[in-house]
Amino acid sequence: MFCRFPEHIEAQILKWNKTGFVLWEHFLDEETIASINTEVDELIKKNEVDFNYTNRKIFNAYQKSYTIRKVIKDKKLLELLSFILDKKVLPFQTINFLKGSEQQAHSDSIHMSTFPNGYLIAAWFALEDISIEQGPLSYFPGSHHLPYLTNADYENTSNHWVLDGNANVKYEKKVQDVIEKNNIPKQIFLAKKGDVFIWHANLMHGGEPMLNQELTRKSMVVHYFANDVIAITKSVNDLLFLIPN
């Protein structure tokens, strides 16, 4: 299986344990990108999808978009993700962006996780060229080796019945403290249209500030769970896609 991947991907797979990410440049072609962007725009106009409370994220547009469903089940991509996790993977959630998230550094594992840990993986697609002005993706190579942070690791009042309304802010401050304490340098990813950036469930990442709010930053992230593990997510709707068609 390993020898079936392009040489530049093989080299990055060998560094996965150290870095926690793989970049596959120009993975999507122009036609596919154009189709995704057109379909998302049309779905917004028809009110078939909408932004969540952040006004930045469109969840699960795959449910309405043929092209997105095709992309997230791409054979080459699934083979790579399954090889990395050593288990078959299944997509369960998509998030589309028209603007940069401007989100502080975080790990996906605080929002969704698996038992055992480590069987969640993400693929982030650039749907246009992205410059520093557009609020590019940033990440912290090697940060996936840090201990997984849970609610028990920072001060908050969440429990089994009630969520702390400021939990996200408190969590993000804890993440920043941990990154600084471990002296992990930040990298900024100036993506080219069609690139796909794959990261480990516990890799710290975020969105840089948008220096020009008039610009778009069209992109899409897809989360995958490995098969045969306990999958934990906030939304039952996400898990529906894990059921084989």
Q: What's the pLDDT at 2?
A: 62
Mean pLDDT of the chain: 91
Q: Is the pTM of this model over 0.75?
A: yes
pLDDT digits (tens, 9 = 90+) for 156-200: 776 665 665 577 788 899 999 999 999 999 999 999 999 999 999
Q: What's the pLDDT at 245?
A: 42
pLDDT digits (tens, 9 = 90+) for 127-139: 999 999 999 999 9
Q: What's the pLDDT at 1?
A: 67
Cβ atoms of 135 and 208 within 8 Å: the answer is yes
Q: Which is higher by pLDDT, 202 or 237?
A: 202
Q: Tell me: pLDDT of 235 over 70.
A: no
In CATH, the architecture of 2-242 is Sandwich (2.60)
Residue type, 13: I
Mean pLDDT of 26-39: 98
Cβ atoms of 134 and 227 within 8 Å: the answer is no
Q: Tell me: pLDDT of 240 over 60.
A: no
Residue 51: φ, ψ to 5°:
-80, 150
Q: E-assigned strands of 12-103? A: 21-24, 57-59, 89-97
Q: What's the pLDDT at 4?
A: 82
Q: Tell me: pLDDT of 144 over 90.
A: yes
Q: Tell me: pLDDT of 108 over 50.
A: yes
124: part of which helix (H) or strand (E)? strand 120-126
- The tokens of 171 are what? 């969590």
